[in-house]
């Protein structure tokens, strides 16, 4: 595949010209384009990595939701450019993001109310359709004229069973963090800080997990009492890091400056906040710790590695790291298949951080990661046995392991668009 900027000037699906590269993000990129009638639009391209049906299914579900505070997906499908399989989604253009504003100033109470009353119904519509956003953050809260809308091309299906409630609770936590950032430009409520009503109650109860969308919606309605009859399940979730924002989002037309059409980089996560554990959990942890300590005190100690056997992480010089490390091996579909056979699984999850057209570039990136984060166990993975060459971390693993390792990789500085994907064991 070419570099994304080399696609400028090409036409997708014989209909959508790629005018200007707006935002490259690994296997994905956004371009300005026009729709069939010549009106401005934004098109997202995603390099296909065996997950085409899953992505198209998500976009189909989102396109069926008629909710004015969700960015509209006007058309989507599959295409090929220069023998590279791509997915594309055409969506309405935006004028900026909340993250752009927060670089300059916090919002007023009135502006924050507009954000809240726009995002709550958008999330309610998604959750009613058994969809979750997972990336509710200032960069994905967008201005379209005088309206506030939530980005929708990154939405996914909620998992089955009780786990769905936990994923929806993450969206609620993200919403609360967005409102807190809107008012304070901070992700945490400083001690002794009182927010204007009704946001103080919304933020404090939302951060604790006591309130869900129904309670927040009731608090936003002036004459409606708030009840806490059934708290939303608590869950540790990532509070999105503010990255960029736009212009004031208000109901007054003159207050919205004109901005160039652009999109905001997708997918931001950060470290999960801590929470207070109940005494029963603490007691269980203490007992478990005593048992583990007894076990290791009565076990023959293993040999302690010497400095000669430990990987060096002190030198920032990537060239030196490459010289002392063994040659980088490109993992392929064959090695994935062998791992899948050993575990009795037909698929394997991997965490993908970078994509390259040349194997040498992928190997260089692996060397850089090893020099700083050897514990991430990076390697080059070629699902087809040829380009694209993916830089993955952690090796093949289960779904839950991949989700956890993705958070670990991001917390250690890997790109915010690092993602987990299930690769077939017979992929070529």
Residue 257 tokens read as 């400056």
Is residue 99 within 8 A of residue 245, CB to CB? The reply is yes
Q: Specify the pLDDT at position 1.
A: 53
Q: Specify the pLDDT at position 293.
A: 53
Same domain, 35 and 117: no
Same domain, 100 and 84: no
Comparing 152 with 284, the larger pLDDT belongs to 152
Same domain, 66 and 106: no
Domain boundary among 45, 61, 91: 91
Is residue 155 within 8 A of residue 165, CB to CB? The reply is no
Q: Which domain holds residue 15?
A: 4-91
Is residue 214 within 8 A of residue 173, CB to CB? The reply is no
Comparing 49 with 72, the larger pLDDT belongs to 72
Report CA 311 to chain centroid distance, whole Å.
31
Same domain, 110 and 239: yes
Q: Specify the pLDDT at position 252.
A: 35
Is residue 29 within 8 A of residue 45, CB to CB? The reply is yes
Task: Give the pLDDT mean for 227-242.
Answer: 39
Alpha carbon distance 215, 136 (integer Å) = 18
The conformation of residue 70, written as its DSSP 8-state character, comes to: B
412: confidence class by pLDDT, cuts 50, 70, 90: confident
Same domain, 80 and 141: no
- The three-class DSSP label of residue 381 is strand
356: confidence class by pLDDT, cuts 50, 70, 90: confident
Q: For 150-205, how does the pLDDT look when each residue is reduced to its tens digit (9 = 90+)?
A: 999 999 999 888 889 999 999 999 999 999 999 999 999 888 889 999 999 999 99
By the 10 Å C-beta count (0-12 exposed, 13-18 middle, 19+ buried), 223 is classed as: exposed
Alpha carbon distance 54, 73 (integer Å) = 16
Q: Is residue 376 part of a domain?
A: yes
Q: Is residue 311 part of a domain?
A: no
Q: Specify the pLDDT at position 426.
A: 57
pLDDT surpasses 50 at 264? no
Q: Is residue 366 part of a domain?
A: yes
The owner of tokens 């390697």 is: 379
pLDDT surpasses 80 at 258? no
Is residue 42 within 8 A of residue 34, CB to CB? The reply is no
The CATH number of residue 202's host domain is: 1.10.510.10
- The three-class DSSP label of residue 426 is coil
Q: What is the mean pLDDT of the chain?
A: 76
Q: Is residue 269 part of a domain?
A: no
**DSSP string computed for 289-330:** HHHHHHHHHTSPPPPPPPTTTSPP-S---HHHHHHHSPPPPE
Q: How far is CA 401 from CA 66, 187, 240, 348, 370, in A?
A: 35, 27, 21, 11, 20
Same domain, 78 and 103: no
Same domain, 219 and 116: yes
Q: How many domains does the chain divide into? A: 3
Task: Give the pLDDT mean for 24-33.
Answer: 88
**DSSP string computed for 271-283:** PPPP-PPPHHHHH
The owner of tokens 């109310």 is: 113
pLDDT surpasses 60 at 8? yes
Same domain, 29 and 101: no
Residue 162 tokens read as 């009780």
Q: How far is CA 397 from CA 183, 251, 390, 427, in A?
A: 41, 48, 16, 16
288: confidence class by pLDDT, cuts 50, 70, 90: low
Q: Which phi and psi (to 5°) does residue 85 adopt?
A: -75, 130
**DSSP string computed for 378-399:** EEEEETTSSSSEEEEEEEEE-H
Domain boundary among 41, 73, 91: 91
pTM metric for this prediction: 0.58
Same domain, 337 and 376: yes
Lowest-confidence region among 61-65, 99-103, 251-255, 360-364: 251-255
Alpha carbon distance 68, 151 (integer Å) = 12
Q: Is residue 304 part of a domain?
A: no
Alpha carbon distance 396, 350 (integer Å) = 5
pLDDT surpasses 60 at 273? no
Task: Give the pLDDT mean for 357-385.
Answer: 87
283: confidence class by pLDDT, cuts 50, 70, 90: low
C-beta atoms surrounding 43 within 10 Å: 27
Q: Specify the pLDDT at position 62.
A: 94
Same domain, 247 and 105: yes
**Element spanning 220, H or E:** helix 213-220
pLDDT surpasses 70 at 402? yes
Q: Is the dihedral of CA 394, 399, 405, 407 positive or negative?
A: positive
The CATH number of residue 408's host domain is: 3.30.70.1070
Task: Give the pLDDT mean for 38-52.
Answer: 89
Q: Is residue 381 part of a domain?
A: yes
Is residue 211 within 8 A of residue 198, CB to CB? The reply is no
Q: Is residue 266 part of a domain?
A: no
Alpha carbon distance 290, 300 (integer Å) = 18
**DSSP string computed for 156-190:** EEPPSTTHHHHHHHHHHHHHHHHHHHHHHS-SS--
Domain boundary among 232, 255, 278: 255
The CATH number of residue 65's host domain is: 3.30.200.20
The proportion of the chain whose per-residue pLDDT surpasses 90, expressed as a percent, equals 45
Same domain, 337 and 393: yes
Q: Is residue 303 part of a domain?
A: no
Q: For 296-325, how does the pLDDT look when each residue is reduced to its tens digit (9 = 90+)?
A: 444 433 332 332 333 333 333 333 333 334
Is residue 181 within 8 A of residue 139, CB to CB? The reply is no
Q: Specify the pLDDT at position 410.
A: 82
pLDDT surpasses 60 at 46? yes
Alpha carbon distance 220, 217 (integer Å) = 5
Same domain, 223 and 121: yes
Nearest to 383 by CA among 350, 416, 409: 350
């Amino acid at each position: 595949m070419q570099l994304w900027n080399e696609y400028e000037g090409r036409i997708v699906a014989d209909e959508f010209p790629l005018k200007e590269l707006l935002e490259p993000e690994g296997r994905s990129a956004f371009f300005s384009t026009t729709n069939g009638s010549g009106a401005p639009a934004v098109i997202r391209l995603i390099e296909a990595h065996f997950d085409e049906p899953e992505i198209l299914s998500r976009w189909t579900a989102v396109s069926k939701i008629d909710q004015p505070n969700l960015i509209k997906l006007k058309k989507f499908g599959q295409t090929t450019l220069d023998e590279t399989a791509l997915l594309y989604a055409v969506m309405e253009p935006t004028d900026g993001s909340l993250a752009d504003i927060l670089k300059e100033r916090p919002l007023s109470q009135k502006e924050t109310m507009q954000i809240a009353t726009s995002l709550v119904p958008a999330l309610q519509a998604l959750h009613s359709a058994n969809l979750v956003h997972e990336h509710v953050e200032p960069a994905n809260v967008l201005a379209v004229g005088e309206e506030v809308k939530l980005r929708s091309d990154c939405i996914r299906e909620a998992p089955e069973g009780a786990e769905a409630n936990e994923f929806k609770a993450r969206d609620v936590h993200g919403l609360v963090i967005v409102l807190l950032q809107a008012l304070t430009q901070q992700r945490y409520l400083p001690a002794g800080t009182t927010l204007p009503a009704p946001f103080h109650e919304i933020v404090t109860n939302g951060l604790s997990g006591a309130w869900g969308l129904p309670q927040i919606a009731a608090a936003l309605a002036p004459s409606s009492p708030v009840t806490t009859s059934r708290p939303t399940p608590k869950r540790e979730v990532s509070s999105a890091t503010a990255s960029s924002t736009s212009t004031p989002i208000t109901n007054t037309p003159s207050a919205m400056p004109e901005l160039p059409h652009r999109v905001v980089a997708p997918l931001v996560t950060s470290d999960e906040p801590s929470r207070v554990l109940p005494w029963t959990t603490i007691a269980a942890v203490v007992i478990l710790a005593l048992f583990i300590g007894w076990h290791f005190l009565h076990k023959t100690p293993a040999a302690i590695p010497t400095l000669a056997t430990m990987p060096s992480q002190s030198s920032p010089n990537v060239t030196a790291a490459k010289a002392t490390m063994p040659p980088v091996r490109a993992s392929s579909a064959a090695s994935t298949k062998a791992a899948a056979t050993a575990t009795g699984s037909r698929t394997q999850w991997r965490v993908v951080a970078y994509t390259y057209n040349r194997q040498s570039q992928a190997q260089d990136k692996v060397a850089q990661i090893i020099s700083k984060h050897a514990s991430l166990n990076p390697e080059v993975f070629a699902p087809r046995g040829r380009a694209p060459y993916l830089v993955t971390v952690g090796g093949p693993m289960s779904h839950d392991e991949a989700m956890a390792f993705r958070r670990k990789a991001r917390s250690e500085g890997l790109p915010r668009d690092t993602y987990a994907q299930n690769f077939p064991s017979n992929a070529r």
